[in-house]
Chain A
C-alpha cells in the first residue's frame, strides 16, 4: 500500500494543470538586459538544445562535441525531434522548455517564451542588416532569435532540357505556361512541372510564394505583414474572384487540365520529385534551397544542370518573385537560468569558422558578413544571384492567423486539385478559412 501511495504521489506531482487554475496573465517578453538572479560567471551546467532541423543534426553534434570539450563545464546536449513544432508546445506547456531552440512561432513570442536578444550587438553587428530586419518581431520591434543563414525559394529547372528546347525562364504566367507546353510537346514522357502534393506543406508554400508573394511584392514586406496581422481585407483581398488567390487557383487548374503537371500530383512525395528531377523525368519544380543537397547527393553530376528562376507573375500588375528569407534561427528560452551559458554556446556556434562549415553543409548562404562559404556549386550560386537580382525579393509570412496554418492552406490546394473547388470557390473558401483562423 505504501508503495502504491508513493507511486500515486509521484504521479500527481508530475501532473501539470491548465493555467485556468493559476489564471495568470501571459508574461511580457523577457529581456536579457533585465537584472537576473543568476551570476554572470559561467557555471557547470547542462544546456538543453532543441532542434527540428534534421539536416543539421550531425554537423551540430560535431560542433557541440568540440564546444563541450573546451567550454569549461558547460555541457550542451542536442535533442532532435521530427515533429519539433508540436513537441516544443508540449515542452513549453509542461515547463520543460529547452535552454536553446531552433523552433520559433509568433504565438510563443506573444506569450513571452523567448528571451529578448535585441541588445546582443556582438552578434547583430556581424549580421547582414536585412536579416536582422527579418528576425524582428513586428509587434514589439525586438529580436527574439538570431538567423544564421538565408534561404531562397523559386523554380528549379533542368538546364539541359531548357537548352535543348531553346527555352528561357519566363517572367509572366503566360510565358511560363508556354514553356511547360513546349516541354510537354517535345518530351511527352517528361513532367514539365512536378508538384509533390501529398505533402501539404509544399502546396502551402506555393500559396506562400505566389499569391501571398504577389501581395508582399506589391505592398512591401512590412505593410503586407501588418495587413496579415490585422486581417486588412483591403490589402489582402483573398476572396476577390479576380484577385491573386483566384488567379493562382485558376492557373493551377489550367496546368492540371492541360496535363502540364504530374498526374500523381496528390500522391507524389518530395522523394519522388527529387528522383524524377535527377533522372530527367521532371523539368522543373518549386522548392527552397534546402532541396539542393538531396539532388546533389543523388547525382553529383547535376551540379552543372540545375537552373534556378523566380516565380513568374500571375497577375497583370505583378513582378517575378523569389523568396529570400531567414533560415536557421536560434532562440533562448525566457525561462532559462543559464542565459550567459546559452549565449556562450551560441557565440561559439556563430563563430566564422563554424558558420562556414554550417553553411557549406546546409547548402545555404550565411547571413554573417564575415563568413565566406562555398555553399553551392558555382553554377548554382550564379543562377541564384541572377534570380535574386532580377526579381522582387519576398520573405516568409509568420504573421498568419493561429488557426490557419500553412499545412491547412496546402490541404485546401489538395482539395482544389481533387476537383472540389472552382477557382472562385477556392478564393472564397480561402478567405473564409483565413478569417476563421483569426476567430479560433
Chain B
C-alpha cells in the first residue's frame, strides 16, 4: 500500500496569509465596522448605520475635496505619462552625458514628497522665494506670481511639482519598455518606408502598451491618495481649496470624528479600487 504524501509546501504560504490577515483583512473589517459608528476616537461609540456616508455626500467641503483629488490625479497621470515618455524617448537615443541626465531626472523621485513640498514652497514664495529673486536679477520679477493664493493656480502648482518629482520614475518604466522593443521590428518598418512619426505611432507606441498601463494605473493610484506634497506646499489652502481626501480624512479623525473619517477612508478605498479593477481587467483581456 502506498502511503499518502502530505504536501507541506502549501503551509509555506501560511505566514504570509497570517500577516495579510492581521495587517490588511482585520483592519479593513474593523474599519468597516467603525465607519458605521459615531466614534469620536475616545468615548462611547454608537451604531449610526450609513449616516456617515450620507453626511459625506451632503458636505460641500467633501465634494470639493473629491473634485480636487480627481483633478490632481488625472492631471498628474496625464502629464506624468507625457513627460515621462518624452524623457524616455530622449534617453533612448544617443547623446553625451546621457547617464548624468538620467540621474538628474530621476533624482527628485528619491526625495520625500514632504521635503519636496517645502523646497518648492521656499522657491515659489512671491516676493521672497528663490525664483522671485532670481527673476528679479534678470529684470523679470513679475514672472513669479502669487500662484499659491488662488485655487486654480495653487492646484496647478501642486500637479506640476508632483510631475516634476515623479516623471523620472515614469521615465524608467517607459525606458525599460522601449529597450525591450526588438530592433528588427523597427528596422522592418524603416525598410517599408515608414516615417519616424509612423514608426513611433504605429510600432513603438502599441508595443509600449504594457508600460503605459502600468504607469497610468500606478500614477492614478498614487495621486488619488496624495497627502504629503499638498500638506507641505499649501496645507490644503487657501481655505480648503486644495485639500485632498487624504488630508480631509486626517483632519476629521483629529477633529474627534473618527467614525466619520473611517467612512471617508472607505469611500477613498472604493475610489482607488476603480482604476485597480480596470487595470486588472485590461491585463486579463491582454493575456
Spell out A's residues near B (CB within 8 Å). Answer: 1, 4, 8, 11, 18-20, 23-26, 86, 89-90, 92-93, 107, 111, 198, 200, 263-268, 272, 402-403, 405, 411-412, 414-415, 417-420, 440
* B239 near A415: Cβ-Cβ < 8 Å: yes
* B237 near A20: Cβ-Cβ < 8 Å: no
- Give the chain B neighbours of A263 by CB distance below 8 A: 126-127, 146
**Which of A19, A412, A418, A419 sits near B45, CB closer than 8 Å?**
A19
Smallest CB–CB gap between B31 and chain A, Å?
11
- Give the chain B neighbours of A418 by CB distance below 8 A: 149-151, 238-239, 241
Interface residues contributed by chain B, number (CB under 8 Å): 36
A403 to B237, CA, bound (A): 19
**Which of B43, B44, B146 sits near A266, CB closer than 8 Å?**
B146
Q: Scoring B residues 137 to 160 as 1 if CB is less than 8 Å from chain A, else 0, what string do you get?
A: 000000000101111000000000
Q: Is the interface of B mostly helix, strand, loop or mixed?
A: loop
Whether a CB of chain A sits under 8 angstroms from the CB of B128 is yes
Given contacts A4-B18, A18-B37, A200-B235, A267 and B256 within 8 Å (CB-CB): no
Whether a CB of chain A sits under 8 angstroms from the CB of B39 is yes
Instruction: Given A267-B126, A415-B238, output 6 extra A-B contacts at Cβ < 8 Å.
Output: A18-B258, A20-B47, A264-B146, A265-B149, A268-B125, A402-B255
A-B contact pairs, 30 of them (CB 8 A): A4-B14, A4-B18, A19-B44, A19-B45, A20-B37, A23-B44, A24-B44, A25-B44, A26-B43, A89-B42, A89-B254, A89-B256, A93-B41, A263-B146, A264-B128, A266-B149, A266-B237, A272-B128, A403-B257, A405-B255, A411-B237, A411-B239, A411-B240, A414-B237, A418-B150, A418-B151, A418-B238, A419-B150, A420-B239, A440-B257
* B42 near A19: Cβ-Cβ < 8 Å: yes
Whether a CB of chain A sits under 8 angstroms from the CB of B97 is no
**Which of A107, A414, A415, A419 sits near B256, CB closer than 8 Å?**
A107
Whether a CB of chain A sits under 8 angstroms from the CB of B46 is yes
- Give the chain A neighbours of B45 by CB distance below 8 A: 18-20
* B127 near A266: Cβ-Cβ < 8 Å: no
Given contacts A18-B34, A18-B37, A403 and B255 within 8 Å (CB-CB): yes
Q: Scoring B residues 227 to 248 as 1 if CB is less than 8 Å from chain A, else 0, what string do you get?
A: 0000000010111110000000
Quick one: closest B residue to A408, CB to CB? B255
Name B266-284 residues within 8 Å CB distance of A. Answer: none
Smallest CB–CB gap between A405 and chain B, Å?
7
A268 to B47, CA, bound (A): 44
A5 to B45, CA, bound (A): 30
Smallest CB–CB gap between B150 and chain A, Å?
6
Most A C-beta atoms less than 10 A away, residue of B46, B121, B238:
B238
Smallest CB–CB gap between A139 and chain B, Å?
16
* A402 near B15: Cβ-Cβ < 8 Å: no
* A86 near B42: Cβ-Cβ < 8 Å: no
Name B1-52 residues within 8 Å CB distance of A. Answer: 14-15, 18, 22, 34, 37, 39, 41-47
Quick one: closest B residue to A276, CB to CB? B128
- Give the chain B neighbours of A23 by CB distance below 8 A: 44
- Give the chain B neighbours of A11 by CB distance below 8 A: 22
A4 to B171, CA, bound (A): 41
